[in-house]
């Protein structure tokens, strides 16, 4: 360390087969050639922090099969390309902190790092959360000192193993509903020194193992939206009243600990559903949505006809609750028919709105046929009993413990466009009618063709007359 080294050439360490730790930090390294670390088959830790590298020397990492720790902190690296570390899948700790010149992180930057346990991206001036999905084994993530105005749902997608998350001093002023739903193993969360004034209702509900929370040094607005957080802190972190800061507003509440705020200080009202779900008739196999738009600080769940309660964090093969509260069906089945209830909750109470989803068998769409298409017609004899009218029993409405607060009668008809493979005609009379219709269309077609030919001949005649008149005019002009 501190030897003013500027370049590492290929095969520099080729004879050090048993070396486990290589410390090259605090030098002036600007270039590392491909093959620079050849021969270091036993290397466990490589320190390259506090140098002048502008690119990640991916090619130099070849054959470092036992590398566990890589330190690149405080280099003027400008971008992290795709597969930057795929040559060292054995990595367990990666320090990329203080890359103050960093401008771009590729979507595939961390591909191949399925063994990584610790990642430091602190103080890198990052404005958008990078794609961390490939880091399936990540347990600790340091993101402090960046510039994240908002944290949105999906920011931590795939991080099912993450236990510690630090995002301090990052200018955060908004955390959206369901933003932490993927972090089901989280034990410690630090959001101190940001610009947070409130959090969505039940934001921490999916975090069943969360025991250490830091929310201090945020300008908390102690109103109705903060009551759920005050209750949650008293319930789950009762021994640490100083962890989560004090009220900043209103003025008469300033200085009070969040855990001391109670409902007697406010008059709060139940949430209002701004866009209630409407009844929907739809064909089997189609995509469907039942909307339920609510205030951002409330939580949304859906009660299904079978009694299941579905939230954004729930896992279902076809159904999902979107970030805005909408219930989405990737494709509907006949068994999905029933009453669906949107349940919206805040600290003051609940509001419910229900809609009936009626799924019918997909209908054949005969409008896709033209009279110039060959049609196969089958005739079958049917008994009089088969033509007797049949009635469908109405689907009974299943009663639940939730009473809808809104009633809607809007009906949306959705027609399938799947082209039919065959048309079956039940009687010979219907076949005669079809044949008659075909004959009429053929007559009409012949008339249209005749008119077209006549117009064409007339145009040709007019063209000939025009040509002759022009030629005669030219002859007169010559004379």
CATH number of the domain to which 325 belongs: 2.60.40.10
338-346 and 349-360 as β-strands: parallel, antiparallel, unpaired?
A: antiparallel
Whether 379 is covered by a domain: the verdict is yes
* Dist CA 304 CA 112 (whole Å): 39
Q: Show the tokens assigned to 366.
A: 């005969």
Q: Show the tokens assigned to 89.
A: 């899948």
Q: Is the domain of 438 the same as that of 413?
A: no
Q: Is the domain of 398 the same as that of 461?
A: no
Count of domains in the chain? 2
Q: Show the tokens assigned to 280.
A: 């929907």
Q: Is the domain of 472 the same as that of 343?
A: no
Contact 286, 416 (CB under 8 A): yes
Whether 304 is covered by a domain: the verdict is yes
CA nearest to 38, candidates 100, 102, 94, 87: 87
Query: CA–CA distance from 319 to each of 170, 279, 303, 326 (Å)?
Result: 34, 17, 12, 10
Q: Is the domain of 289 the same as that of 378?
A: yes
Q: Is the domain of 302 the same as that of 404?
A: yes
Res 297: pLDDT = 82
Q: Is the domain of 403 the same as that of 478?
A: no
Whether 355 is covered by a domain: the verdict is yes
Q: At a CB cut-off of 8 Å and minimum separation 6, what does 201 contact?
A: 177, 225, 228, 297, 298, 299, 345, 346, 347
* Dist CA 38 CA 202 (whole Å): 53
Q: Is the domain of 448 the same as that of 377?
A: no
Enumerate residue ranges in the chain where pLDDT < 50.
366-428, 430
Q: Is the domain of 414 the same as that of 436?
A: no
Whether 312 is covered by a domain: the verdict is yes
Whether 475 is covered by a domain: the verdict is yes
Whether 316 is covered by a domain: the verdict is yes
Q: Is the domain of 345 the same as that of 447?
A: no
By three-state DSSP, how is residue 227 classified? helix
Res 390: pLDDT = 40
pTM of the model: 0.70
Whether 263 is covered by a domain: the verdict is no
The boundaries of the domain holding residue 314 are: 280-384+393-426
Whether 220 is covered by a domain: the verdict is no
Q: Is the domain of 453 the same as that of 414?
A: no
Res 10: pLDDT = 95
Q: Is the domain of 311 the same as that of 411?
A: yes
Q: Is the domain of 342 the same as that of 463?
A: no
């Amino acid at each position: 360390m501190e030897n003013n080294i500027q370049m590492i050439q290929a095969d520099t360490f080729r004879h050090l087969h048993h070396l486990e730790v290589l410390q090259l930090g605090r030098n002036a390294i600007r270039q590392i050639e491909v093959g620079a670390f050849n021969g270091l088959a036993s290397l466990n830790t490589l320190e390259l922090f506090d140098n002048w590298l502008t690119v990640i020397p991916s090619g130099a990492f070849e054959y470092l099969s036992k590398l566990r720790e890589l330190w690149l902190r405080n280099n003027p690296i400008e971008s992290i390309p795709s597969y930057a570390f795929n040559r060292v899948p054995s990595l367990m700790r990666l320090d990329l902190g203080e890359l103050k010149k960093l401008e771009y992180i590729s979507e595939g930057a961390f591909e191949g790092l399925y063994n990584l346990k610790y990642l430091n991206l602190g103080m890198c001036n990052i404005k958008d959360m990078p794609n961390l999905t490939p880091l399936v084994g990540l347990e600790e993530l340091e993101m402090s000192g960046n510039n994240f105005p908002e944290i949105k749902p999906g920011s931590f997608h795939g991080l099912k193993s993450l236990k510690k998350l630090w995002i301090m001093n990052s200018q955060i002023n908004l955390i959206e509903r369901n933003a932490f739903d993927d972090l089901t193993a989280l034990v410690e969360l630090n959001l101190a020194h940001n610009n947070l004034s409130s959090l969505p209702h039940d934001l921490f509900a999916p975090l069943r193992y969360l025991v250490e929370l830091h929310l201090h040094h945020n300008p908390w607005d102690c109103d109705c939206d903060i009551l759920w957080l005050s209750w949650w802190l008293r319930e789950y972190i009762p021994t640490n009243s100083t962890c989560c800061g004090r009220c900043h507003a209103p003025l008469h509440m300033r200085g009070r600990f969040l855990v001391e705020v109670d409902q007697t200080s406010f008059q709060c009202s139940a949430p209002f559903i701004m866009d209630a779900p409407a009844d929907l008739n739809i064909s089997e196999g189609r995509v469907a949505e039942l909307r339920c738009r609510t205030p951002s600080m409330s939580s949304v769940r859906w009660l299904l006809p079978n009694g299941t309660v579905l939230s954004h964090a729930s896992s279902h093969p076809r159904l999902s609750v979107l970030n805005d509260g909408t219930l989405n069906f990737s494709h509907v089945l006949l068994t999905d028919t029933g009453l669906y209830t949107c349940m919206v909750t805040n600290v003051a109470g609940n509001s419910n709105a229900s809609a009936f989803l009626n799924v019918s068998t997909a209908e054949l769409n005969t409008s896709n046929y033209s009279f110039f298409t060959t049609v196969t017609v089958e005739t079958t004899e049917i008994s009089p009993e088969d033509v007797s009218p049949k009635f469908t029993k109405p689907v009974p409405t299943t009663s639940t413990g939730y009473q809808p607060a809104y009633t809607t009668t809007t009906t949306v008809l959705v027609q399938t466009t799947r082209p039919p493979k065959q048309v079956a005609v039940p009687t010979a009379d219907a076949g005669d009618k079809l044949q008659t219709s075909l004959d009429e269309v053929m007559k009409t077609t012949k008339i249209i063709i005749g008119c077209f030919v006549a117009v064409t001949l007339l145009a040709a005649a007019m063209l000939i007359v025009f040509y002759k008149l022009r030629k005669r005019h030219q002859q007169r002009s010559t004379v």
